[in-house]
Amino acid sequence: MYSRRMSVSASERLIEATRELLWERGYVGTSPKAIQQAAGAGQGSMYHHFTGKPDLALSAIRRTAGELRAAAETVLGGEGSAYARIEAYLLRERDVLRGCPVGRLTTDPEVMTSETLRAPVDETLDWLRGRLAGIVQEGLDSGEFTAPLDARETAAAIVATAQGGYVLARAAGSPDAFDTAVRGLLTLLSRRTVR
């Protein structure tokens, strides 16, 4: 354990510990002491690398947001039809019962009232809606999807279904609720697909 911790920088351990704690406990429930304990780093190390909890949380939120965008882009930027890429995004493997690490931040009042902490959350959700709208528009332009179908509205519905699916799954204690919501949306979208 000692050699592993020494091989990863203290700032990296602090960021990763903060990411996990924010996902599990939210901003208020993530104390500097809990971060330090989870990271195996002392108070001096934390304040050497970061000006305080908000600075560290911002680094963690930015990394989480970046990873979410990268994971989404892997399937959205892949091969296949517009419908196939949307389907791949919605059906990709995810830890449904833990919820979306970015989406969960939207329920955290401390994050949402801080323009600085909220910015990467807003940017990520805006990016995702925009990326999906572009794919839906590709499908409309190629004739794969039939009108009337609004690209922006459809993209918003896709994001809302995924985020709402997390909430339903967590409430039910089962990923089946997420799967049902996603499959329902895909059924509706497939009815607008020319085959």
**pLDDT at residue 193 in the model:** 86
Contact 97, 123 (CB under 8 A): no
Contact 107, 129 (CB under 8 A): no
Vertex 193: Cα angle to 191 and 194 (nearest 5): 120
Amino acid at site 101: P
Q: How many CB atoms lie within 10 A of CB 5?
A: 13
Chain segment 147-186, per-residue pLDDT in tens: 889 999 999 999 999 999 999 999 999 999 999 999 999 9
Domains of the chain: 2-190 (1.10.357.10)
Chain segment 126-150, per-residue pLDDT in tens: 999 999 999 999 999 999 999 889 9
**pLDDT at residue 195 in the model:** 66
At residue 1, does pLDDT exceed 50? no
Q: Is 136 exposed, middle or buried (0-12, 13-18, 19+ CB in 10 A)?
A: buried
Given pLDDT bands bounded at 50, 70 and 90, which one contains residue 3? Answer: very low
- Return the SS3 of 132: helix
**pLDDT at residue 44 in the model:** 87
Chain segment 76-117, per-residue pLDDT in tens: 999 999 999 999 999 999 999 999 999 999 999 999 999 999
Q: For residues 191 and 150, give the distance between their C-alpha atoms in angstroms, rounded to a whole number.
A: 14
Strand partners, 145: 193
Dihedral, 150, 156, 158, 160 alpha carbons, nearest 10: -150
The answer for residues whose C-beta is within 8 angstroms of residue 150's C-beta and 6 or more apart is none
Q: List the one residue out of 89, 100, 99 whose CA is nearest residue 189.
A: 89
**pLDDT at residue 7 in the model:** 57
Chain segment 39-84, per-residue pLDDT in tens: 999 888 888 889 999 999 999 999 999 999 999 999 999 999 999 9
